[in-house]
Amino acid sequence: MNQRPQLSAADQRRLDGLAASFGDLRKRNIGYPCNQDFDYSELAPFFAWSANNIGDPFGPSNYRLNTLGFEREVLGEFARLAQAEEGQWWGYVTSGGTEGNMYGLYVARELFPDGICYFSEDTHYSVAKVLRLQHTRSIMLKSQPNGELDYTDLRETLRIHRDAPPIIFANIGTTMKGAVDNLATVRGILAELAIPASYIHADAALSGMILPFVDEPQPWNFSAGADSISISGHKLLGSPLPCGIVLAKKRNVERIARSIEYIGALDTTIAGSRSAFGPLFLWYRLRTLGTSGVTEIVRRSLELAAFAEERMNAAGIPAWRHKNSVTVVFPRPPAALMEKWIIAPKGNIGHIITLPHVTENIITEFIADFVKARP
């Protein structure tokens, strides 16, 4: 047997330094929605194999080193949370929110080649890129000051373009402000204008794992009128690799499926080869946490958001957040503050996102640094 290759001492020092850096940055990563509080060490043995979930998760595959069975279980749980109609949905585990949004818009474009996609100015930057890649006609709409879609602008723009089927890109928690576009209001506008055919994709990257676990959720899922939904896995749940899920109505997906002999599977996804580890991480996380565990993560995160909002305002930093949101918005921090803390600024605002690794002590330290750094 060949001797296992070894790193040089210099290369090992580089890796050790990177690990130390990640450990130091962990508690200061408060501006991006990535839960750092997880432990997947029990899954380490699976990295000894090159596993691949190529093809449709609900069909056979010639490549049998896969986790398709685990993927189906994960999708079933997300479909339940999103109130998808039993037996009428389809989905797969993606590389993250952008791929999920791309898939939803891909299905919409295939259904309505002459359609126009409408999205607000607070929509994630990747959506405009996806629309360019897919050559989908699109119109950017205004947002309200709180980040929610401007429904007056939507109504008037739809009225002007009534000849083209609308594809509505709805934000279920905008990137910067955590705003939720109201699907019931959108559906009401479509009905009011007597538009016969339309499609709604819901980008629920972060809030898709919050709203199913609160007492009074905003309308956001299939029961509220969505035709497809994208949710991130590495955000609220936490994962060492970016991952997510996309769900769509089965009858729409069946119209775009293609059979590929080489892999012995249907080609229904965006990617060819897909990670077999993303489904395994999500399955492990959902199984070890259970409904009560995820509910506790959501409860604790919302509690921390309320704590941060109250303490920042008490310190003279005007902060606010939406209902059921863990995104706390405040004026753009001074540059000196962002040298220490990992913050995502845009224009004149910044935010922190209170996921479980962000403790009350961390929030208190951040506020103290903010006060010191202000002119």
pLDDT tens-digit readout, 7-53: 999 999 999 999 999 999 999 999 999 999 999 999 999 999 999 99
274 shares its domain with 164: yes
Residues 6 or more apart whose Cβ sits within 8 Å of residue 91: 57, 75, 78, 79, 245, 246, 247, 248
Q: Which tokens sit at 217?
A: 């959720």
189 shares its domain with 272: yes
Domain boundary residue among 229, 261, 286? 286
297 shares its domain with 368: yes
Q: Domain range spanning residue 324?
A: 11-41+290-373
Considering the chain, what percentage of its residues have pLDDT values greater than 90?
91
The one catalytic residue in 198, 228, 301, 325 is: 325
What is the structure's pLDDT at 260?
Answer: 43
Is residue 3 a part of any domain in this protein? no
User: Which residue did the predictor score with more confidence, 221 or 2?
Assistant: 221
**273 vs 60: CA distance, rounded Å:** 14
What is the structure's pLDDT at 76?
Answer: 98
b/e per residue, 25-49, with b = 16+ CB within 10 A?
A: eebbbbbebbbbebebeeeeeeeee
Tens digits of residue pLDDT in 328-350: 999 999 999 999 999 989 999 99
116-134 mean pLDDT: 97
Q: Across the chain, what does the average pLDDT equal? A: 95
308 shares its domain with 175: no
Domain count, the chain: 2
Active site residue 325: yes
What is the structure's pLDDT at 259?
Answer: 45
**186 vs 174: CA distance, rounded Å:** 16
Would you list the DSSP string of 173-211?
S-TTT--B--HHHHHHHHHHTT----EEEEE-TTGGGTG
120 shares its domain with 231: yes
DSSP state of 373: H
Poorest-pLDDT segment among 48-62, 220-234, 289-303: 48-62
317 shares its domain with 349: yes
15 shares its domain with 116: no
CB of 158 closer than 8 Å to CB of 186: no
Q: pTM for this one?
A: 0.95
What is the structure's pLDDT at 63?
Answer: 92
What is the structure's pLDDT at 360?
Answer: 97
User: Could you tell me which of 174, 184, 200 has the C-alpha nearest to residue 325?
Assistant: 174
**64 vs 353: CA distance, rounded Å:** 40
Ramachandran sector of residue 102 (left: φ over 0; alpha: ψ -120 to 50; beta: rest): alpha
- DSSP H or E run through 258: strand 258-260
| Pairing of the two strands 116-120 and 166-171 | parallel
CB of 368 closer than 8 Å to CB of 374: no
Domain boundary residue among 243, 265, 286? 286
147 shares its domain with 120: yes
Q: Residue 69: which CATH number?
A: 3.40.640.10
130 shares its domain with 198: yes
Tens digits of residue pLDDT in 54-79: 989 998 888 999 999 999 999 999 99
Is residue 268 a part of any domain in this protein? yes
Domain boundary residue among 286, 307, 337? 286
Tens digits of residue pLDDT in 176-217: 999 999 999 999 999 999 999 999 999 999 999 999 999 999
Is residue 97 a part of any domain in this protein? yes
**211 vs 222: CA distance, rounded Å:** 13
Instruction: Return the SS3 of 329.
Output: strand
Tens digits of residue pLDDT in 239-284: 999 999 999 999 999 877 654 444 445 678 998 899 999 999 999 9
Would you list the DSSP string of 2-51?
PPPP---HHHHHHHHHHHHHHHHHGGGB-SS--------GGGGGGGGS--
What is the structure's pLDDT at 257?
Answer: 65
**18 vs 40: CA distance, rounded Å:** 19
User: Could you tell me which of 311, 290, 111, 135 has the C-alpha nearest to residue 201?
Assistant: 111
